[in-house]
A and B are shown apart, each in its own frame.
Chain A
């Protein structure tokens, strides 16, 4: 459990990530807005409270690792990493420009703090699991976190990995499913439903939890719970909203990739800024 102060701090951090992500994508005028927004509370908890990382030494041997298997959510990770000081914030305005270090899909060879190249859906869960195995072989204590999408969960490789992970009992691994129920072409349930996702992961042998993916306390508590359970691989299904917190994307069916105007972005940022006004924001 987090204290009320800690919850407020993480919510404020999440809000900052959202604003920076909007500025970053807004500067370009288009991008994968929906899935970037839905994982932001998770990123805030991971980088604000959970993960052992050193922004000055991104390849630190004792760090925790994050693999965003739904690699198109790079923009919100970049905003988080910039806020943490992995690289200058003005890099965010180079997103997807020729020669940038911040491509739309995560690249371990370009961006400080990015641990795996992803983007071909289904592959990051396997590579992340390989990292967890390598760390176990070396008897290291680092944790590996993987974020997969719900649309991504239609890929066969996810279930190859799920079967393998259920048997491999990698207790240094936590997979998060961003279950926002939307994919590029619309609603997951209308396209190729995942059915009872929690039951599926349980059947595949994973220690499975389901929480509200926009509640920082619930996410944090689930991670702590997972760490108490040894000799099992862990999955946490996050019930999320695609486009969450971005007023021109949330609630829109086709919000996986959008084009947006400067006005839309400015308006969305203004709304977010109201949640934590600059000076009055500190809890008394």
Chain B
């Protein structure tokens, strides 16, 4: 894996949804098997761009997420590679049984691309805020779960997602996140990335929490705490090797995720740590709460998803080291 890390953190120059759909369109021009389904969110997910080019392979099923997943399963049975789109809340909470049976249990090649994870649902509020989606998907055998970090990673992963057989849950912040990687970076599903070295503690982050973790590392360096930052973007199968290595080398771990601290990244990392290299851990994430409306800065503070929250967790974990 060859990644180049952006020298300064700034807003991405491309929306993740565009990085995604443009790459998928590029693949679909060469591969007729690629089909897009959306449940009346084509103008939220920008999948309408696919439908404009491939009207017969871009299907808006209307507001019926359960039927959409079933259709995707059937399409896969005939050899198609269906990508089904909706918000994370509906993909996980509403469609669990369809994803479980009609996609995963049936061993079909269904790709679920779910947008607006966690607090990214902002003004849609509590009904649309998915703090449990990774946990729900994590308990489905054979499911691969990826949460691309920025537009560079998003674009780079589309081809691997399309051509790795089996069900995928892709958790996408659809607008412009903080850009972490430079163009030309190469990523491998299932492999975490050390973004910054450090020896006192490791912060393992996913999604929008990666930039918060990098910011936290700067604050911590200023008070003499050497902090390693790791981006785990594949929640399942999780990169055990990098977790064990970091636990052994730094002796303490903090996880950070835009998700309930139950059943998400923190839990997945803890499972590996306790079985392989027990060290003190803290989990930064939503504290088992429902969502609410607000802008993203308000929500970050409300649900303790800021760089400062990571700093505090690091201080706490180091006291137990």
Residues of A within 8 A of B (CB): 67, 108-109, 115-120, 122-135, 137-138, 156-157, 160-161, 163-164
Contact yes or no, B78 A164, CB < 8 A: no
CB-CB < 8 A to B106: which residues of A? 108-109, 116-117, 127
Contact yes or no, B71 A117, CB < 8 A: no
Q: Which of B19-27, B60-68, B232-240, B277-285 contacts A (4 or more CB under 8 A)?
A: B60-68
Which residue on chain A has the smallest CB distance to residue B73? A127
Contact yes or no, A125 B70, CB < 8 A: yes
Contact with A along B142-172 (1 / 0, CB 8 A): 0000000000000000000000000000000
Contact yes or no, A129 B101, CB < 8 A: no
CA A120 to CA B61, docked complex, whole Å? 21
Contact yes or no, B78 A134, CB < 8 A: yes
Contact yes or no, A157 B70, CB < 8 A: yes
Q: How many residues of B contact A (CB 8 A)?
A: 31
Cβ distance B50 to chain A, nearest Cβ, rounded Å:
14
Contact with A along B81-113 (1 / 0, CB 8 A): 010000000000000011011100111000000
Contact yes or no, B67 A161, CB < 8 A: yes
Q: List 27 A-B contacts (CB under 8 A).
A: A109-B106, A109-B107, A117-B102, A117-B105, A118-B101, A123-B98, A125-B70, A126-B66, A126-B67, A126-B70, A126-B74, A126-B102, A127-B70, A127-B73, A127-B77, A128-B74, A130-B70, A130-B75, A130-B82, A131-B75, A137-B35, A137-B57, A137-B78, A137-B80, A164-B61, A164-B62, A164-B67
CB-CB < 8 A to B184: which residues of A? none
Which residue on chain B has the smallest CB distance to residue A158? B67
Contact yes or no, B64 A129, CB < 8 A: no
Contact yes or no, A138 B71, CB < 8 A: no
Q: Say yes or no: is B210 at the interface (Cβ < 8 Å to chain A).
A: no
CB-CB < 8 A to A133: which residues of B? 59, 71, 74-75
CB-CB < 8 A to B214: which residues of A? none
Q: In the complex, which of the residues A117, A131, A157 contacts B78, with contact meaning CB atoms closer than 8 Å?
A: A131
Cβ distance B55 to chain A, nearest Cβ, rounded Å:
11
CA A152 to CA B82, docked complex, whole Å? 26
CB-CB < 8 A to A131: which residues of B? 74-75, 77-78
Cβ distance B54 to chain A, nearest Cβ, rounded Å:
10
Q: Say yes or no: is B56 at the interface (Cβ < 8 Å to chain A).
A: yes
Q: Say yes or no: is B72 at the interface (Cβ < 8 Å to chain A).
A: yes
Contact yes or no, A129 B97, CB < 8 A: no
Q: Say yes or no: is B69 at the interface (Cβ < 8 Å to chain A).
A: yes
Cβ distance A132 to chain B, nearest Cβ, rounded Å:
7
Q: Say yes or no: is B79 at the interface (Cβ < 8 Å to chain A).
A: yes
Contact yes or no, B101 A119, CB < 8 A: yes
CA A131 to CA B102, docked complex, whole Å? 12
Cβ distance B41 to chain A, nearest Cβ, rounded Å:
16
CA A163 to CA B71, docked complex, whole Å? 13
Which residue on chain A has the smallest CB distance to residue B74? A130
CB-CB < 8 A to A129: which residues of B? 67, 70-71, 74
CA A60 to CA B32, docked complex, whole Å? 21
CA A160 to CA B69, docked complex, whole Å? 12
CA A117 to CA B97, docked complex, whole Å? 13
Which residue on chain B has the smallest CB distance to residue A140? B78
Query: What would 7 more interface pairs be, CB under 8 Å, given A126-B70, A156-B66?
Result: A108-B107, A118-B101, A120-B100, A123-B73, A133-B59, A135-B78, A138-B78
Contact yes or no, B78 A126, CB < 8 A: no
CB-CB < 8 A to A125: which residues of B? 70
Given A109-B107, A119-B101, is A164 in contact with B64 using a C-beta cutoff of 8 Å? yes
Contact yes or no, A134 B80, CB < 8 A: yes
CA A250 to CA B35, docked complex, whole Å? 46
Cβ distance A232 to chain B, nearest Cβ, rounded Å:
18
CB-CB < 8 A to B62: which residues of A? 163-164
CB-CB < 8 A to A157: which residues of B? 66-67, 70, 98
CA A135 to CA B102, docked complex, whole Å? 18
CA A124 to CA B101, docked complex, whole Å? 10
CA A41 to CA B70, docked complex, whole Å? 27
CA A108 to CA B74, docked complex, whole Å? 12
CB-CB < 8 A to B77: which residues of A? 108, 115-116, 127, 130-131, 134
Cβ distance A126 to chain B, nearest Cβ, rounded Å:
2
Contact yes or no, A163 B73, CB < 8 A: no
Which residue on chain A has the smallest CB distance to residue B65? A160
CB-CB < 8 A to B79: which residues of A? 134
CA A109 to CA B141, docked complex, whole Å? 15
CA A133 to CA B59, docked complex, whole Å? 10
9 nearest A-B residue pairs (beta carbon): A130-B74, A126-B70, A134-B78, A160-B67, A130-B71, A160-B64, A117-B106, A127-B74, A131-B74
CB-CB < 8 A to A123: which residues of B? 66, 70, 73, 97-98, 101-102
CB-CB < 8 A to A119: which residues of B? 101
CA A122 to CA B66, docked complex, whole Å? 9
CB-CB < 8 A to A163: which residues of B? 62, 64
CA A84 to CA B163, docked complex, whole Å? 36
CA A118 to CA B97, docked complex, whole Å? 12
CA A160 to CA B79, docked complex, whole Å? 24
Which residue on chain A has the smallest CB distance to residue B68? A126
Which residue on chain B has the smallest CB distance to residue A69? B70
Contact yes or no, A126 B75, CB < 8 A: no
Contact with A along B203-234 (1 / 0, CB 8 A): 00000000000000000000000000000000
Contact yes or no, A127 B102, CB < 8 A: yes
